[in-house]
Amino acid sequence: MRIELEGVTLGVEDHGEGVPVVLLHGFPLSSEMWTPIRTAVEQAARLITPDLRGFGGSDKPQGDYGMETHAEDVLRLADRLGLDRFVVGGHSMGGYVALRLAAGHAERLAGLILVDTRASADTPDGKVQRAIAIERIRRGEAAAFLDEFVPNLLGQSSHKRAPKLATELRGVAAEVPDHVLAGCLAGMRDRPDSTAVLARLDVPALVLVGQEDTIAPPEVAHTMAAALPRARLALIPLAGHTPSVERPIPTAEAILAFLRESFPPPPLTIKPRRG
């Protein structure tokens, strides 16, 4: 479905019952990255997966693509869906957005899921690389940029085992307009450091990471899990930066186990038969 918010309309999938879980996709993907784990996670939750502005079935306006803008969209979406408190989760750029939401509106969080992401800001060299990429896109070299960038979303094992995955992700990335690519790169470059936010988030948290991730490697996940007051860490073997598409079964199992333990369903009450 499409949900109209102030100034932007987002494409959103919303299925299942139980604790509301809003999962945010990474760059330059869409909510399609959650498709392989959707049915499993919906056994334990109401799973809401928006396309962030600029991606998938959402509007792609000109203008700001900062992490705070995406976070405000997510908050407005939660308001429109009548969610008071919810679990927010994000993959990579989606994690940056989730942490900005947590920074400004911790009272809305029932839980947190961080997937192959980091709380720290870009390093000075990282900022330079973002600027170079933005410049390439402005020169009309978005396709060449994506040809280099997208393979890094997968681990070496996935490249060997399932070479078509890279082509599929490249196909999703090809749908993203140049102004959105450049806008999000600038938004990621300019995002503040969210490290100090972690210690304040006294909610159940899952930090999940592919063991072969080179963009947000397992050491980063370990550090975030140690800084969060109530976190568990899940390492997904034979996966790189995008475990939900590389190893959907162990990824779904880790998320399900976290949700079932942290948000157990109310016990079934069996009414005695009369007569």
What CA dihedral angle connects 113, 183, 12 and 252, to 10 degrees?
-30
Q: What is the contact mask toward ligand MLT in residues 33 to 72, using x (rule: CB under 6 A)?
A: ----------------------------------------
Whichever of 70 and 241 has its CB closer to ligand MLT, that residue is 241
Determine, following the binding rule CB under 6 A, whether residue 93 of this chain makes contact with ligand MLT.
yes
Whichever of 19 and 180 has its CB closer to ligand MLT, that residue is 180
What is the DSSP-derived secondary structure letter of residue 127?
H
Determine, following the binding rule CB under 6 A, whether residue 27 of this chain makes contact with ligand MLT.
yes
Determine, following the binding rule CB under 6 A, whether residue 215 of this chain makes contact with ligand MLT.
yes
Look up residue 205 and give its amino acid.
Answer: A
End-to-end CA distance of the chain: 47
The distance of closest approach from Cβ of residue 273 to ligand MLT in the complex, given in angstroms and rounded to an integer, is 54
The distance of closest approach from Cβ of residue 188 to ligand MLT in the complex, given in angstroms and rounded to an integer, is 5
Among 92, 158, 244, 262, binds ligand MLT (CB under 6 A): 92
Which of 222, 202, 204 lies closest to 262, judged by CA?
204
Instruction: Compute CA distances 168 → 10, 32, 267, whole Å.
Output: 23, 11, 42
- Number of residues engaging ligand MLT in binding (CB under 6 A): 7
Whichever of 188 and 225 has its CB closer to ligand MLT, that residue is 188
Q: Judge whether 221 and 254 are in contact, CB under 8 Å.
A: no
The distance of closest approach from Cβ of residue 203 to ligand MLT in the complex, given in angstroms and rounded to an integer, is 23
Would you give the distance in Å from CA 139 to the centre of its chain?
29
The distance of closest approach from Cβ of residue 202 to ligand MLT in the complex, given in angstroms and rounded to an integer, is 26
The distance of closest approach from Cβ of residue 117 to ligand MLT in the complex, given in angstroms and rounded to an integer, is 8
The distance of closest approach from Cβ of residue 27 to ligand MLT in the complex, given in angstroms and rounded to an integer, is 4
Q: What part of residues 164-203 is at the interface with ligand MLT (CB under 6 A)?
A: 188
Determine, following the binding rule CB under 6 A, whether residue 26 of this chain makes contact with ligand MLT.
yes
The distance of closest approach from Cβ of residue 82 to ligand MLT in the complex, given in angstroms and rounded to an integer, is 29
Q: Judge whether 187 and 70 are in contact, CB under 8 Å.
A: yes
Binding site for ligand MLT (CB under 6 A): 26-27, 92-93, 188, 215, 241
